[in-house]
């Protein structure tokens, strides 16, 4: 697309007609006189007349193009795959700015983060297109803010770094609603993001709503996607997968993730527990490393807190993870199951022999409504999916931070829970098995164990399964790429669906190599909702103080301090409550969506993609192309000059030939 900085001088393009007018006037200046002898000369030159006419047309074209080029240079044309418009003045730009954790990493060859880079480029581009009205909608707050001038963008708290994730489809819907409700005129929505898959939500329901919203806008309104895709610098992140107290010990499970390369690298882990710091050197042999650390804590302490950090690297926002703990508490699971082989396997995995702190209660589906859940960490649901009051109670449990794992029922009525449902049961071919070759080794309950040892998922063999339908994200897939394990976040809690049963007539899942860590990790995650030491994700309601509470930060990690307390990770006192907030763990996943994904998301809408590879050569999304036009004009003038050269006359050629003949040269000698 091409736009112009000086649109007012485009009237000079009309001057391109001057060579044509001069040509026509010259033709009218000569009067034709019939002369008998002239017919012989015309006949002699008739064969070359067509070539001369073509030559004159080319000369005329070159002169016309040269004048057009002069006019275009004066108008200062811009070309850009991202900005530029379809003609006319742009009234408003609604900028959706991704402020998620992943935007804080800098591309190779650049000293500034992707977030800072996009702010600079937006400022330059707005200046070039006449500074239309700018409305900022940042991913952390989701609110629309009218910006008086692009020059103050960097000073606003609404563009500062955060420890949050983004929800791009929801932001697009809000931007469309704002344009419509405020009647902003000719507007464009600019989405600046690194296209991290977790922030773009592979949720067809959300994207169907976003497409429908975009299609309500007039055609002159457009959506531009700026994809900041420069290769990031080498970076290591740290997450605390779980923290729990057992009597006088604090047990931390820590995971490190390296964004590129598998070469061994030495890392210093820094631990701070209740203000006391220690360090441990570790070596990462691959891309991930999981460690379990135990620390002695006072038996009489009711609560405590701390963090694990790394030496600062390419992204300061993922170099720390926080925790808080309370008094020792038993973990309790509730098994809602039909009588059978699966029920016994689930009971065994939920309450391991010899572990006094683990309790489980087994009930039938009809007893669910009357069963209290306030002390439960985990619900194992192996029954027809709940509906109405049963579904509401299970949803409340999830919203309060619990974990629910659903297994297929022996009978599957047509029902769904949280947008996920079961397909009809399917059996494998004779003497064949369903196997799971692909699973997420870095995230979820099937992640690698200590020292990065993978779970033996490849041992799983199934002869029956129930397909999983809905908007859950896949954590493991069967060999035909259908889902074995799906996950969906609901409020503060997590919902899992497993597509086979721990029953010999279904699979060998009951062997325990997979089922036990799946359930035990669910128990640990669900138990985080108890005690005075709480955990929450930055950006969620659980990470905010309630009415009457005063927020006070209690940890001493200063690398990521900011004025955006609502959007910053840390350990906080909310009145009498102690809570550790952390970035969403999905922000450590470097997977990005493809242009094909974007085409699917925005199918049927007016959108443009611009891929920025992180070069600092140009701070704008547009480029002036007057230099190229000047070169073109020079080429036209040179060609016109060459064509205007008069060829030598026959008499001159004959004289030259005679001069250069051997006899003439001999005579001269």
At 626 the pLDDT is: 62
Q: Of the candidates 529, 550, 573, which is a domain's last residue?
A: 529
CA pseudo-torsion sign 138, 140, 142, 145: negative
Residues 191 and 277 in one domain: no
Whether 394 and 349 have beta carbons less than 8 Å apart is answered as no
Inform me whether the pLDDT recorded for 620 exceeds 70: no
In a domain, 87, yes or no: no
Residue 543 has pLDDT above 60, yes or no: yes
- pLDDT tens by residue, 480-528: 999 999 999 888 789 999 999 999 999 999 887 899 999 989 988 888 7
Nearest to 318 by CA among 534, 538, 105: 105
Q: Domain range spanning residue 434? A: 332-529
- Per DSSP, the three-state class of 626 is helix
Q: What is the pLDDT of residues 401-439, one digit of tens each?
A: 899 999 999 887 778 899 899 998 999 998 899 999 999
| 39 in the same domain as 25 | yes
State yes or no: pLDDT of 325 exceeds 90.
no
pLDDT digits (tens, 9 = 90+) for 39-95: 655 665 555 566 677 777 887 788 788 777 777 777 666 555 444 444 446 789 999
Q: Is residue 359 domain-shared with residue 378, that is, in the same domain?
A: yes
Q: Do 459 and 542 share a domain, yes or no? A: no
Q: What is the CATH number of the domain that holds 584?
A: 2.60.40.10
In a domain, 109, yes or no: yes
Q: What is the dihedral of CA 507, 508, 509, 514, to 10 degrees?
A: -140
- Confidence category of residue 98, pLDDT binned at 50, 70, 90: very high
Q: What is the pLDDT of residue 81?
A: 44
Q: What is the pLDDT of residue 476?
A: 94
Is 29 a residue whose pLDDT tops 60? Answer: no
Q: Burial level of 649, CB count in 10 A (0-12/13-18/19+)?
A: exposed
Round the average pLDDT of the chain to a whole number and report it: 83
579-614 pLDDT, tens digit each: 999 999 889 888 899 889 999 999 988 888 887 765
What is the model's pTM?
0.72
- Please state the domain count of the chain: 4
pLDDT at 321 over 90: yes
Give the CATH number of the domain where residue 495 resides. Answer: 3.40.50.880
Q: pLDDT at position 669, please?
A: 45
The closest alpha carbon to 614, from 231, 101, 126, belongs to 231
* DSSP reduced 3-state for 257: strand
pLDDT at 306: 94
In 302-442 the beta strands, taken as DSSP E runs, fall at 304-309, 320-325, 331-337, 358-363, 378-382, 403-407, 416-417, 420-427, 438-439
Alpha helices in 555-649, H assignment, sequence order? 595-601, 626-644
Helical H segments across 406-514, by residue range: none
Of all residues in the chain, what percent carry a pLDDT higher than 90?
A: 40
**For 539, left (φ over 0), alpha (ψ -120 to 50), or beta?**
left
pLDDT of residue 87: 44
Q: Is residue 666 part of a domain?
A: no
Are 342 and 313 in the same domain? Answer: no
Work out whether strand 222-228 and strand 607-612 pair parallel, antiparallel, or are unpaired: parallel
Question: Which range is least confidently modeled, 225-239, 353-367, 554-568, 648-662?
Answer: 648-662
Would you state the pLDDT for residue 639? Answer: 80
**Residue that terminates a domain, selected from 572, 588, 604:** 588
Do 647 and 559 reside in the same domain of the chain? no
Asked if 94 and 175 touch (Cβ cutoff 8 Å), the reply is yes
Bridge partners of 254?
240, 291
Closest CA to 317 of 587, 75, 124: 587
Nearest to 476 by CA among 507, 493, 500: 500
Q: Do residues 365 and 509 both lie within one domain?
A: yes
Please tell me the distance from the alpha carbon of residue 383 to that of residue 339, in angstroms, as a whole number.
Answer: 10
Provide the pLDDT for residue 473: 86
Which band of pLDDT confidence, cut at 50, 70 and 90, is reported for residue 194? very high
Same-domain check for residues 487 and 606: no
Residue 668 is assigned to a structural domain of this protein: no
- Say yes or no: 617 and 631 in one domain: no
Strand positions, DSSP E, 499-545: 533-537
pLDDT band at residue 27 under the 50/70/90 scheme: low
Do 570 and 598 fall into the same domain? no
Where a domain ends, among 498, 513, 529? 529
Residue 667 lies in a domain: no
Does residue 576 share a domain with residue 438?
A: no
Measured in whole angstroms, the distance separating CA 624 from the mean position of its chain's CA atoms is 29
Residue 85 maps to a domain? no
pLDDT tens track for 113-148: 999 988 988 888 787 777 889 999 999 999 999 999
| 392 shares its domain with 488 | yes
Report the C-alpha gap between 448 and 255 in whole angstroms.
Answer: 9
Say which CATH number the domain at 182 has: 3.40.50.410
- How far apart, in whole angstroms, are the C-alpha atoms of residue 253 and residue 559? 23
Residue 16: its pLDDT value, please? 67
416-417 vs 570-574, strand pairing mode: unpaired
* Residue 128 domain-assigned (yes or no): yes
- Supply the pLDDT for residue 80: 53
Residue 308 lies in a domain: yes
> Per-residue pLDDT tens for 289-300?
888 899 998 878
């Amino acid at each position: 697309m091409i736009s112009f900085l000086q649109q007012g001088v485009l009237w000079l393009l009309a001057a391109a007609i001057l060579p044509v007018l001069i040509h026509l006037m010259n033709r009218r200046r000569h009067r034709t006189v019939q002369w008998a002898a002239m017919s012989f000369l015309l006949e002699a030159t008739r064969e070359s007349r067509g070539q001369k006419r073509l030559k004159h047309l080319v000369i005329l074209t070159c002169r016309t193009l040269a004048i057009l080029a002069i006019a275009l240079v004066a108008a200062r044309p811009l070309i850009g795959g991202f900005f530029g418009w379809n003609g006319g003045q742009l009234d408003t730009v609604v900028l959706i700015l991704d402020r998620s954790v992943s935007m804080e990493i800098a591309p190779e060859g650049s000293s500034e983060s992707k977030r800072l880079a996009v702010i600079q480029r937006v400022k330059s581009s707005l200046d070039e297109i006449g500074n239309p009205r700018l409305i900022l909608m940042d991913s952390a707050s989701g609110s629309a803010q009218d910006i008086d001038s692009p020059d103050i963008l960097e000073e606003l708290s609404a563009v500062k770094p955060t420890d949050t994730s983004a929800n791009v489809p929801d932001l697009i819907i809000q931007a469309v609603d704002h344009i419509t409700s405020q009647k902003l005129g000719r507007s464009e929505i600019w989405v600046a993001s690194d296209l991290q898959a977790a922030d773009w939500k592979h949720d067809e329901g959300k994207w169907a709503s976003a497409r429908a919203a975009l299609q309500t806008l007039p055609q002159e309104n457009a959506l531009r996607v700026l994809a900041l895709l420069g290769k990031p610098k080498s970076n290591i992140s740290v997450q605390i997968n779980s923290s729990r107290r057992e009597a006088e010990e604090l047990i931390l499970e820590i995971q490190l993730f390296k964004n590129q390369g598998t070469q061994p690298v030495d890392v210093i882990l820094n631990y701070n527990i209740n203000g006391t710091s220690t360090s441990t050197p570790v070596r990462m042999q691959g891309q991930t490393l999981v460690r379990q650390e135990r620390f002695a804590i006072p038996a009489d302490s009711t609560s405590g807190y701390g963090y694990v950090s790394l030496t600062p690297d390419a992204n300061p926002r993922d170099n720390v993870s926080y925790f808080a703990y309370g008094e020792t508490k038993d973990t309790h699971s509730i098994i809602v199951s039909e009588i059978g082989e699966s029920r016994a396997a689930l009971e065994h995995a939920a309450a391991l022999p010899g572990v006094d702190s683990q309790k489980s209660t087994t009930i039938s589906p009809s007893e669910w409504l009357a069963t209290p859940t306030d002390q439960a960490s985990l619900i194992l649901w192996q029954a027809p999916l709940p509906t109405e009051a049963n579904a509401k109670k299970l949803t409340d449990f999830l919203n309060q931070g619990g974990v629910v794992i659903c297994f297929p029922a022996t009978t599957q009525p047509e029902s769904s829970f949280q947008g996920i449902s079961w397909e009809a049961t399917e059996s494998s071919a004779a003497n064949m098995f369903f196997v799971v070759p692909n699973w997420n080794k870095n995230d979820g309950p099937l992640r690698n164990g200590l020292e990065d040892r993978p779970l033996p998922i490849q041992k799983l063999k199934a002869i029956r399964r129930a397909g999983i339908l809905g908007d859950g994200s896949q954590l493991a897939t069967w060999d035909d790429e259908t889902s074995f394990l799906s996950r969906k976040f609901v409020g503060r809690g997590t919902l899992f669906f497993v597509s086979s049963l721990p029953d010999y007539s279904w699979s060998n899942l009951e062997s325990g190599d997979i089922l036990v860590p799946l359930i035990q990790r669910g128990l640990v995650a669900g138990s985080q909702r108890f005690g005075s030491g709480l955990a929450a994700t930055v950006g969620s309601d659980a990470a905010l103080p309630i009415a009457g509470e005063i927020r006070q930060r209690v940890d001493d990690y200063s690398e990521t301090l900011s004025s955006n307390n609502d959007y910053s990770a840390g350990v906080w006192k909310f009145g009498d409550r102690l809570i550790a907030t952390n970035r969403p763990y999905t922000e450590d996943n470097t997977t990005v969506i493809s242009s094909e994904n974007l085409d699917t998301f925005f199918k049927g809408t007016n959108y443009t993609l611009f891929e920025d590879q992180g070069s600092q050569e140009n701070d704008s999304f547009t480029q002036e192309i007057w230099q190229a036009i000047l070169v073109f004009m020079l080429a036209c003038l040179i060609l016109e000059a060459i064509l205007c050269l008069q060829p030598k006359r026959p008499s001159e050629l004959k004289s030259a030939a005679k001069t250069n003949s051997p006899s003439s040269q001999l005579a001269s000698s």
